[in-house]
């Protein structure tokens, strides 16, 4: 099942790295470029994890997140290899998460930080900046939860109460 879905992970990695390259090339650090209402492009860097978790930890977090991301990616590859042919939604979810994890791993390995450039806001409330890899991880995680709920509901419909 891995080979059938690896294209999705590779697509996420390529889009992520290409958009990060463009962001670094054309955007100035911390200077928002309005695109639509409540949506800016703005170059920033994150040495931490989601929502800048551990961003100011002193440098050790780079190696921690590299190790964690590598372990998670290996686990996702193994999981993808073990899927049955009919588990398409689960495969898509895992492939999206894998692509996002590897996209951010590339940044951490080469730069020691992750490039973020998408900024959403409402009025004076700003969501932390993120990137394509983060978006793929989020979409994959939502699909994973939904697939889990669907499969749980489907199995409870098949098994009559004792």
**Domain presence at residue 48:** yes
Domains: count for the chain: 1
- Domain that includes residue 107, residue range: 2-26+44-151
**Domain presence at residue 122:** yes
Distance between CA atoms of residues 90 and 55, nearest Å: 31
Q: What is the pLDDT along the chain (162 residues), one digit of tens a residue?
A: 677 899 999 999 999 999 999 999 999 999 999 999 999 999 999 876 555 555 555 556 667 778 888 999 999 999 999 999 889 999 999 999 999 999 999 998 898 889 999 999 999 999 889 999 999 999 999 999 999 888 766 655 555 555
**Domain presence at residue 160:** no
How do 39-46 and 33-36 pair as beta strands? Answer: antiparallel
- Count the alpha carbons within 13 Å of 63 in the hemisphere toward its beta carbon: 3
From 16, 107, 116, 159, active-site residue: 116
**Domain presence at residue 159:** no
**Domain presence at residue 31:** no
Distance between CA atoms of residues 138 and 159, nearest Å: 32
Verify whether residue 123 is a known catalytic residue: no
Report the residue count for the chain: 162
**Domain presence at residue 73:** yes
**Domain presence at residue 124:** yes
- Count the alpha carbons within 13 Å of 67 in the hemisphere toward its beta carbon: 5
Backbone angles phi, psi at 34, to 5 degrees: -60, 135
**Domain presence at residue 121:** yes
Question: What sign does the CA torsion over 93, 97, 98, 103 have?
Answer: positive
Q: Is 55 helix (H, G, I), strand (E, B) or coil?
A: coil
Verify whether residue 16 is a known catalytic residue: no
From 16, 107, 123, 134, active-site residue: 134
């Amino acid at each position: 099942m891995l080979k059938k879905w690896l294209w999705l992970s590779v697509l996420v990695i390529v889009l992520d790295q290409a958009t990060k390259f463009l962001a670094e090339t054309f955007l100035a650090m911390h200077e928002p470029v309005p695109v639509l209402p409540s949506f800016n492009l703005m170059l920033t860097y994150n040495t931490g994890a989601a929502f800048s978790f551990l961003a100011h930890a002193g440098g050790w977090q780079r190696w921690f997140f590299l190790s964690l991301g590598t372990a998670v990616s290996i686990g996702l590859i193994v999981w993808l290899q073990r899927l049955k042919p009919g588990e398409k939604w689960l495969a898509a979810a895992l492939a999206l998460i894998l692509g996002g994890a590897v996209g951010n791993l590339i940044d951490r390995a080469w730069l020691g930080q992750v490039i973020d450039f998408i900024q959403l806001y409402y009025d004076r409330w700003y969501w932390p900046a993120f990137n394509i890899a983060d978006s793929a991880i989020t979409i994959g995680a939502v699909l994973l939860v939904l697939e889990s709920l669907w499969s749980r509901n489907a199995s409870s419909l098949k098994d009559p109460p004792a």
